Amino acid sequence: MTVGIVGGGQLARMMALAGYRLGLDFLSLDKDPCTPAAQVAPALSGSFTDPTLLDELAHRSEVVTFDWENVPLESLDRIAGRVRIAPPREAPAAARDRLNEKTLFDALRIPTNRHAAVDSEADLAAAVSRLGLPGVLKTRSLGYDGKGQFVLRKPADIAAAWARLGSNAPLLYEEFVPFDYEVSIIGVRGRDGAIRTWPLNRNLHADGVLRLTRAPWRAPALEAAAVRHVRRVLKHFDYVGVLTIEFFVRRGRLLANEMAPRVHNSGHWTIEGAMTSQFENHVRAILGLPLGDTAPRGHSAMINLLGTMPPREALLAEKSLFLHDYGKEPRPGRKLGHCTLVAASAAERDRRAASLLRRLDSRKIAG
């Protein structure tokens, strides 16, 4: 039984590694012939919209999924009707456009920050006048890890923001949220409608890129609200697979920032830290298999390894630490791997994660 994946990044790689335990096969499609997924599973190399390659992917697969929300929708349309696609097309269509995403949150009564569509410099000035400063101008699509954004702090920033991003219209202006911290909730829905969620994650970003995730994050009221919200989205789309919603926490209240209709960076801790990982449950869901238990095995911290990989020896000397190297070429700010430590208590987890981050950032481990 073969799972096809449009995209061949580290998420596709970890799906394949999880699925091999279940006796499954995988086939990815990516323009880069040396992707992380291609290092562990058969791959097709070429354009995401190449009709010949898409036809081959559909022919050889039981089900087709994807490892990023910006998958070309025309690619999914090409193979629709010939092979099952999961998650459903409507989910990435909403997630890839920030305005559609915010409109969805409003329709499902999921609190989010105030926002306005921007198609001209005049629209931006009007949005700033109505929503105030500071605020964030964002591209409505293709922005991730802090890219495609401009923070406005004073009226004079309007012209500079438009000069930077105006050619990338359409845009979205959002009020700036002085949040206390960030969290995410990850849920999975099976073909039979069964839903499971993992514990709430607390996330720390640096320069727009996820640096640290801690889970479970014990905040019962926030977790209960986050679970309600993710269940609404899963049911709305008649969703199959894993979906994540990221939230700002402001004065004890959740504000939805964005969703990801796929397995997610903040869920990497589940590989060692949960009874069933997000990757295995995604594969189970899209194949119609029973979902696995999402309970935590302990208290986990996941740290992204960016730019250059630290020496393996230094990390592997750490107690109960699990290293994942994606096999990617070093590049400033690039996610090259991650490590997860699992502790017996939240206090031990937080102490060890803080110590490890200090050593990584001071280059005492990175060398």
Q: What is the pLDDT of residues 231-248, one digit of tens each?
A: 999 999 999 999 999 999
165 plus 185 within the same structural domain: no
Distances from the Cα of 302 to the Cα of 313, 349, 364, angstroms: 18, 10, 19
142/131 Cα distance (integer angstroms): 24
CATH at 73: 3.40.50.20
Does residue 100 sit within a domain?
no
Whether 304 is covered by a domain: the verdict is yes
Do 156 and 53 lie in one domain? The reply is no
Kindly state the DSSP code that residue 234 receives in the 8-state scheme: H
pLDDT band at 207 (very low <50, low <70, confident <90, very high): confident
Is 103 contained in some domain? no
Please report whether residue 101 resides in a domain.
no
Give the range of the structural domain holding residue 23, as residue numbers without chain letter.
Answer: 2-85
Does 128 lie in the same domain as 201?
A: no
Task: Provide the pLDDT for residue 90.
Answer: 97
- Are 132 and 230 in a shared domain? no
* Residue 137, domain CATH: 3.30.1490.20
Domain of 326: which CATH number?
3.30.470.20
Task: Please report which confidence band the pLDDT of residue 320 belongs to, taking 50, 70 and 90 as the band edges.
Answer: very high
Residue 60 included in any domain = yes
CA quadruple 347, 352, 357, 358: dihedral positive or negative?
positive
- What is the model's pTM? 0.93
Are 238 and 301 in the same domain? yes
How many domains are there within the chain? 3
Considering the domain architecture, whether residues 264 and 167 belong to the same structural domain is answered as no
Confidence check: pLDDT of 367 > 90: no
Residue 94, in any domain of the structure:
no
> SS3 for 340?
strand
User: Does some domain include residue 90?
Assistant: no
- Alpha-carbon distance of 286 to 63, in angstroms, equals 7
**Over the chain, what is the mean pLDDT?**
95
Please tell me whether the peptide bond between 216 and the residue prior to it is cis, using omega within 30 degrees of 0.
yes
Distance from the Cα of residue 309 to its chain's centroid: 21
Q: Is the pLDDT of residue 108 over 50?
A: yes
85 phi and psi angles, rounded to 5 deg: -115, 130
CA 235, CA 39: separation in Å to the nearest integer?
A: 35
Q: Are 47 and 154 in the same domain?
A: no
Decide if 145 is inside a domain.
yes
Number of other residues whose CB lies within 10 A of the CB of residue 250: 15
170 and 202 assigned to the same domain: no
Domain end position, chosen among 124, 152, 175 = 175
- Cβ proximity of 323 and 339 under 8 Å: yes
Residues 109-168: tens digit of each pLDDT: 999 999 999 999 999 999 999 999 999 999 998 755 556 899 999 999 999 999 999 987
Shared-domain flag, residues 256 and 318? yes
Residue percentage of the chain with pLDDT more than 90: 92
